C-alpha cells in the first residue's frame, strides 16, 4: 500500500516532535507542553501507523509496548568489557587513590575529577547504530551480559532513536537502571494488594523488573535510567573530557544525573561526598556512595586500568544501609495516640552510620507478611534519619528453634483492651484517660481552649506536673493546690493562685465540651455537639449501643464502636467518676425543639475575621439551630460565611458555586 507523501511527512514530523518532548521531560526535566498535547500527538501517530503498518520502524516512539514473552535471555559478549569499580570506605583510602593518580600524572598540582552519585541499581549497556537503539545488555560478569533489549525498549527515559545528527555511527552507552523510591513504594503496595511477594529494596525491584521474561510486565514497572559513560564508539569522537562526554550524551537525548559535577583536587572530592551524604535521604532514588573519575580522557588512558577495574576511578561508599543481625525478641511500644507498635530487639549492629539495637516491625500484618520469627537472622535497614526497620529474615540461616509472634490483646502499659478496627492495620489501646503512655497528650488535649479551657495550664506546665509525679490522669489536675503549683519552676504565688481559680472556673462546662475533652477517637467538636444534642446526658451516651449511636446524624459504625469501647473500659469510667466527684458539671440539656432547628441538615464553613462575634460564638449559634459547621469547603457545603480577609476557602467556594454570605446575613440567621 503506497503512503501519501503528506502522511509520510506527518509521521516523521510526529516522531521527531515526540522524541524531542521525551528528551525535555526525561532528560532535562523541563517539559514544554502539557501531557494532554503529548498524548494527542502520540494518538495521532498511532492512528497513522495503524493505517500504514509498513511505515512502522523499531525506533518509532510507539514501539515500547513490549514483545512477546521470551523463554530465556541470550548471553552476549561485550565488545568492550564493562569494568567494575574499586571501592574506598574511608577518607584515608580516597587520599591514597588521589596519591596514586598523582604518581601516574607527575607535574599536575590538582587533578580535575568528575564527581557523581553512585546509583544503587543495575548496570546496563545500550548500543546505538546510526542513532537507533539495537541492543541492551546487562553487565553480567563484565565480559558477557544478558540480552534484555525487548525490556529496555519499554523504559520511557531510554530513547529508541537519538536526537540530532552528529552522533557516531556506533555508540555504546553505559548507565544504571534504577527504580525511584516513590515508584518502589507504589509497586510494593500493588504487590501486597495482589497478595504477591514484595521486593526488599529498589535495587532488587529494578533488577527483577528488568529481567522479566515478559516485556509487558517490565513496561508496567517504574524504571528509569541515568547514563554515566560510554564504551565502544565508532565514527565521530571529539570529546576530550569525561564531563564533556556526558554533556554530549544529553544533547542526543540520553539522561545524565543532575548531581554530576566537576571539581579540582581531592579536598573538593571529599566535600562533594559529604554534601551527597547529607542530601542522600532527600533524593528520590537510592545511592550508596559517590564516584570520582579523572576527567581528562587522555589522562584516563595514561593512568590505565587493572584486570577488572579502571585505575582512574573509584567508588567512595557510604556507610551500609542494610546489615545482618539476630532478632533476639519482640517488645511492644505504646505511642501517644495509643498505637501499639512491635519493636525488634536486636544484637547490636552497625548500619547507616550508627549502632542499631532496635528496629520497627510496624504491625502484625507486616510481621506475618515478612515471615519474621524470634531467633531469626534478619536484614536490618536504616536510611538517613529514618527509623531502622526489619526488612525480612534470611531463611537459609533460620535455626531449628524459632518462635512466631502474636501481638497482645491487652495494652502492655495499662492492661486496657487493645483493639483493631475494621480497615486498619494497627492495634490501639483503649485506655486513653488512664494509660500512662498516652497521658501527656490526653491531659494537654483535656485542658485545651476548645475542650475544658483551663487558662494557664500549658504544655510545659503539664510536662512538669507529670514528670514530678503530681498528676497521673486528667482527674488529678483538680486536686492540685496553690502550694504545689507555686513550688514548680517559673511559677510564683500569683500564677499559682490564678491557675487554681482557672481550674475551679473550668468545672462549669457543657456536655459537648466535656465529651470533646475526653479525647474519644473520632469524636471532634462537631461530633461531640451532635452527641450531646441528641443523647442529652453522659449516662445515656455511656449506655448507648451501636444501633442507638448510628441513629445520631453523622455517626458511622467506626465512631460508634470507638465510643462503646471507650466507655466499656473500667479505667476510663474510673477517671470520669473522679472528674464528676471533683465538681465538673454542666447544665441539663432539654429535648430539641424541632421548630427551632431552622438550619437542620445545612453545612456551614466559616472563613475570615468576624467583627461582632468570635468564630466559636458563630459556630455555637449555628449548631444551636441544627447546622453542621465544617472546617473545609466541599461540594457538600451549603453556605460559606466570609468575614474580613477571607482566603482560599472563599476562592474554593466561588469555584464550586457555593452560596456565600456575609456577617450581617449570618446575624440575621442566628436571630
Q: Quote the percentage of the chain above a pLDDT of 90.
A: 44
The per-residue pLDDT for range 338-397, each reduced to its tens digit, is 889 999 999 998 887 778 899 989 999 989 988 999 999 998 987 665 678 898 898 888
Residue 75 is assigned to a structural domain of this protein: no
The mean per-residue pLDDT over the stretch 483-505 comes to: 90
Asked if the model's pLDDT at residue 294 lies above 50, the reply is: yes
| Residue 66 pLDDT grade (very low, low, confident, very high; cuts 50, 70, 90) | very low
Q: What is the CATH number of the domain that holds 443?
A: 1.10.150.20
Residue 239 is assigned to a structural domain of this protein: yes
Give the whole-angstrom CA distance, residue 540 versus residue 280: 56
Domain tally for the chain?
A: 5
Q: Give the end of a domain, one of 538, 556, 581.
A: 581
- Label residue 466 exposed, middle or buried (CB < 10 Å: 0-12, 13-18, 19+): middle
Asked if the model's pLDDT at residue 308 lies above 80, the reply is: no
SS3 406: coil
Q: Are residues 312 and 328 in the same domain?
A: no
Cβ atoms of 177 and 126 closer than 8 Å: no
Residue 408 is assigned to a structural domain of this protein: no
Give the whole-angstrom CA distance, residue 150 versus residue 135: 8
Q: Are residues 132 and 205 in the same domain?
A: yes
Tell me which residue range forms the domain holding 160.
Answer: 87-317
For residue 670, give the nearest of 612, 609, 585 by alpha carbon: 612
Q: Are residues 449 and 576 in the same domain?
A: yes
Give the whole-angstrom CA distance, residue 97 versus residue 228: 20
Please report the pLDDT score of residue 29 as a whole number.
59
Residue 403 is assigned to a structural domain of this protein: no
Q: What is the CATH number of the domain that holds 247?
A: 3.30.470.30
SS3 176: strand
Cβ atoms of 223 and 182 closer than 8 Å: no
The per-residue pLDDT for range 97-151, each reduced to its tens digit, is 999 999 999 988 899 999 999 998 899 999 999 999 999 999 887 888 899 999 9
Report which secondary-structure segment, H or E, holds 227.
Answer: strand 224-234
Give the whole-angstrom CA distance, residue 321 versus residue 356: 11
Give the whole-angstrom CA distance, residue 174 versus residue 226: 9
Angle 165-167-172 (CA atoms, 0-180°, nearest 5)?
150
Asked if the model's pLDDT at residue 657 lies above 90, the reply is: no
The per-residue pLDDT for range 158-168, each reduced to its tens digit, is 999 999 888 99
Residue 489 is assigned to a structural domain of this protein: yes
SS3 661: strand
Q: What is the CATH number of the domain that holds 327?
A: 2.40.50.140
Q: Are residues 484 and 542 in the same domain?
A: yes
- CA–centroid distance for 445 within its chain: 28
Q: Are residues 166 and 247 in the same domain?
A: yes
Q: What is the CATH number of the domain that holds 627?
A: 3.40.50.10190
Q: Are residues 473 and 375 in the same domain?
A: no
Please report the pLDDT score of residue 27 as a whole number.
65
Asked if the model's pLDDT at residue 237 lies above 80, the reply is: no
Please report the pLDDT score of residue 656 as a whole number.
86
Report which secondary-structure segment, H or E, holds 37.
Answer: helix 35-51
Please report the pLDDT score of residue 322 as a whole number.
80
| Residue 505 pLDDT grade (very low, low, confident, very high; cuts 50, 70, 90) | very high
Catalytic residues: 118
Asked if the model's pLDDT at residue 14 lies above 50, the reply is: yes
| Residue 650 pLDDT grade (very low, low, confident, very high; cuts 50, 70, 90) | confident
The mean per-residue pLDDT over the stretch 420-438 comes to: 84
Please report the pLDDT score of residue 624 as a whole number.
75
Give the whole-angstrom CA distance, residue 632 versus residue 638: 12
Q: Are residues 261 and 138 in the same domain?
A: yes
Instruction: Give 3-state DSSP helix, strand, coil % of the chain, rounded to 5.
Output: 40, 20, 40
Asked if the model's pLDDT at residue 309 lies above 80, the reply is: yes
Report which secondary-structure segment, H or E, holds 419.
Answer: strand 418-419
Residue 256 is assigned to a structural domain of this protein: yes
Q: Are residues 294 and 369 in the same domain?
A: no
> In terms of DSSP H, where are the helices of 85-155?
91-104, 149-152
pTM above 0.95, yes or no: no
Please report the pLDDT score of residue 270 as a whole number.
96
The per-residue pLDDT for range 572-629, each reduced to its tens digit, is 899 999 999 999 999 988 765 556 677 877 889 998 888 888 887 888 788 778 788 8
Residue given cell 488529678 in the structure block: 476
Asked if the model's pLDDT at residue 70 lies above 60, the reply is: no
* Lowest-confidence region among 232-236, 398-402, 419-423: 419-423
| Residue 28 pLDDT grade (very low, low, confident, very high; cuts 50, 70, 90) | low
The mean per-residue pLDDT over the stretch 69-89 comes to: 83
Average pLDDT, the chain: 88
The mean per-residue pLDDT over the stretch 268-288 comes to: 92
Asked if the model's pLDDT at residue 201 lies above 90, the reply is: no
Residue 329 is assigned to a structural domain of this protein: yes
Q: Are residues 29 and 101 in the same domain?
A: no
Q: Are residues 542 and 483 in the same domain?
A: yes
The mean per-residue pLDDT over the stretch 643-662 comes to: 85
* Lowest-confidence region among 21-30, 45-54, 332-341: 21-30
Q: Are residues 24 and 141 in the same domain?
A: no
Question: How many CA atoms within 13 Å lie on the side-chain side of 597?
Answer: 13
Residue 422 is assigned to a structural domain of this protein: no
Q: Give the end of a domain, one of 363, 381, 397.
A: 397
Q: What is the CATH number of the domain that holds 38?
A: 1.10.287.610
Cβ atoms of 78 and 143 closer than 8 Å: yes
Cβ atoms of 296 and 241 closer than 8 Å: yes
Please report the pLDDT score of residue 618 as a whole number.
84
Give the whole-angstrom CA distance, residue 485 versus residue 461: 9
The per-residue pLDDT for range 521-559, each reduced to its tens digit, is 888 888 898 898 889 899 999 999 999 998 888 788 888
DSSP-assigned letters across all residues of 450-505: TTT--TT--HHHHHHHHHTTS-SSGGGGGG--HHHHHTSTT--HHHHHHHHHHHHH
Please report the pLDDT score of residue 594 as a whole number.
59
Q: Are residues 209 and 113 in the same domain?
A: yes
* Lowest-confidence region among 205-214, 233-242, 623-632: 623-632
Grid coordinates given for 144: 558477557
Q: What is the CA radius of gyration of the chain?
A: 33
Give the whole-angstrom CA distance, residue 367 versus residue 370: 5
The mean per-residue pLDDT over the stretch 300-311 comes to: 88
Q: Give the end of a domain, one of 345, 373, 397.
A: 397
Cβ atoms of 271 and 94 closer than 8 Å: no
Amino acid at each position: 500500500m503506497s503512503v501519501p507523501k503528506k502522511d509520510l511527512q506527518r509521521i516523521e514530523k510526529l516522531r521527531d516532535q515526540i522524541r524531542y518532548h521525551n528528551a525535555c521531560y526525561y532528560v532535562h526535566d523541563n517539559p514544554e507542553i502539557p501531557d494532554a498535547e503529548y498524548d494527542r500527538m502520540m494518538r495521532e501517530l498511532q492512528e497513522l501507523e495503524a493505517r500504514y503498518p509498513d511505515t512502522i520502524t523499531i525506533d518509532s516512539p510507539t514501539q515500547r509496548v513490549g514483545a512477546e514473552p521470551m523463554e530465556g535471555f541470550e548471553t552476549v559478549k561485550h565488545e568492550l568489557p564493562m569494568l567494575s569499580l574499586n571501592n574506598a570506605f574511608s577518607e584515608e583510602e580516597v587520599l591514597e587513590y588521589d596519591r596514586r593518580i598523582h604518581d601516574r600524572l607527575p607535574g599536575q598540582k590538582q587533578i580535575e575529577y568528575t564527581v557523581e552519585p553512585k546509583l544503587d541499581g543495575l548496570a546496563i549497556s545500550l548500543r546505538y547504530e546510526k542513532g537507533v537503539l539495537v541492543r541492551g545488555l546487562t553487565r553480567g560478569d563484565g565480559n558477557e551480559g544478558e540480552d534484555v533489549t525487548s525490556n529496555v525498549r519499554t523504559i520511557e527515559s531510554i530513547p529508541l532513536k537519538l536526537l540530532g545528527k552528529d552522533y557516531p555511527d556506533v555508540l555504546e552507552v553505559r548507565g544504571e537502571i534504577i527504580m525511584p523510591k516513590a515508584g518502589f513504594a507504589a509497586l510494593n503496595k500493588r504487590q501486597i494488594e495482589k497478595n504477591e511477594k514484595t521486593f526488599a529494596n529498589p535495587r532488587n525491584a529494578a533488577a527483577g523488573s528488568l529481567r522479566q521474561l515478559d516485556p509487558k510486565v517490565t513496561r508496567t514497572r517504574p524504571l528509569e535510567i541515568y547514563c554515566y559513560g560510554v564504551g565502544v564508539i565508532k565514527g565521530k569522537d571529539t570529546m576530550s573530557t569525561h564531563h564533556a562526554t556526558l554533556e554530549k550524551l544529553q544533547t542526543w537525548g540520553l539522561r545524565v544525573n543532575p548531581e554530576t559535577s566537576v571539581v579540582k583536587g581531592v579536598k573538593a572530592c571529599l566535600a562533594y561526598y559529604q554534601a551527597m551524604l547529607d542530601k542522600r535521604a532527600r533524593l528520590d532514588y537510592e545511592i550508596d556512595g559517590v564516584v570520582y573519575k579523572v576527567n581528562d580522557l587522555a589522562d584516563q588512558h595514561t593512568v590505565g586500568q587493572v584486570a577488572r577495574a579502571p585505575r582512574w576511578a573509584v567508588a567512595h561508599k557510604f556507610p551500609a544501609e542494610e546489615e545482618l543481625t539476630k532478632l533476639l525478641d519482640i517488645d511492644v511500644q505504646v505511642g501517644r495516640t495509643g498505637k501499639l507498635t512491635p519493636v525488634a530487639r536486636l544484637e547490636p549492629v552497625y548500619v547507616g552510620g550508627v549502632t542499631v539495637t532496635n528496629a520497627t516491625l510496624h504491625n502484625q500484618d507486616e510481621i506475618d507478611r515478612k515471615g519474621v520469627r524470634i531467633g531469626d537472622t534478619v536484614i536490618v535497614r536504616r536510611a538517613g534519619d529514618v527509623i531502622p526497620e526489619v526488612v525480612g529474615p534470611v531463611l537459609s540461616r533460620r535455626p531449628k528453634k524459632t518462635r512466631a509472634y502474636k501481638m497482645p490483646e491487652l495494652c502492655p502499659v495499662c492492661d486496657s483492651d487493645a483493639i483493631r478496627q475494621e480497615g486498619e492495620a494497627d492495634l490501639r489501646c483503649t485506655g486513653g484517660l488512664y494509660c500512662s503512655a498516652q497521658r501527656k497528650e490526653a491531659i494537654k488535649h483535656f485542658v485545651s481552649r476548645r475542650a475544658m479551657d483551663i487558662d494557664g495550664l500549658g504544655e510545659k506546665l503539664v510536662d512538669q506536673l507529670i514528670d514530678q509525679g503530681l498528676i497521673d490522669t486528667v482527674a488529678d489536675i483538680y486536686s492540685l493546690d496553690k502550694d504545689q503549683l507555686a513550688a514548680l519552676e517559673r511559677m510564683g504565688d500569683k500564677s499559682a493562685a490564678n491557675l487554681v481559680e482557672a481550674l475551679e472556673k473550668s468545672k462549669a462546662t457543657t456536655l459537648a465540651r466535656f465529651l470533646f475533652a475526653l479525647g474519644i477517637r473520632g469524636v471532634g467538636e462537631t461530633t461531640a455537639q451532635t452527641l450531646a444534642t441528641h443523647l442529652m446526658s453522659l449516662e445515656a451516651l455511656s449506655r448507648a449501643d451501636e444501633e442507638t449511636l448510628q441513629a445520631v446524624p453523622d455517626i458511622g459504625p467506626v465512631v460508634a464502636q470507638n465510643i462503646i469501647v471507650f466507655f466499656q473500659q473500667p479505667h476510663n469510667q474510673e477517671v470520669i467518676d473522679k472528674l464528676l466527684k471533683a465538681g465538673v458539671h454542666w447544665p441539663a440539656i432539654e429535648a430539641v425543639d424541632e421548630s427551632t432547628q431552622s438550619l437542620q441538615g445545612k453545612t456551614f464553613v466559616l472563613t475570615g475575621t468576624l467583627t461582632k462575634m468570635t468564630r466559636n460564638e458563630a459556630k455555637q449559634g449555628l449548631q444551636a439551630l441544627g447546622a453542621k459547621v465544617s472546617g473545609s469547603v466541599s461540594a457538600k457545603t451549603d453556605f460559606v460565611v466570609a468575614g474580613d480577609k477571607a482566603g482560599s476557602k472563599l476562592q474554593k467556594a466561588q469555584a464550586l458555586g457555593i452560596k456565600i454570605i456575609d456577617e450581617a446575613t449570618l446575624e440575621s440567621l442566628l436571630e
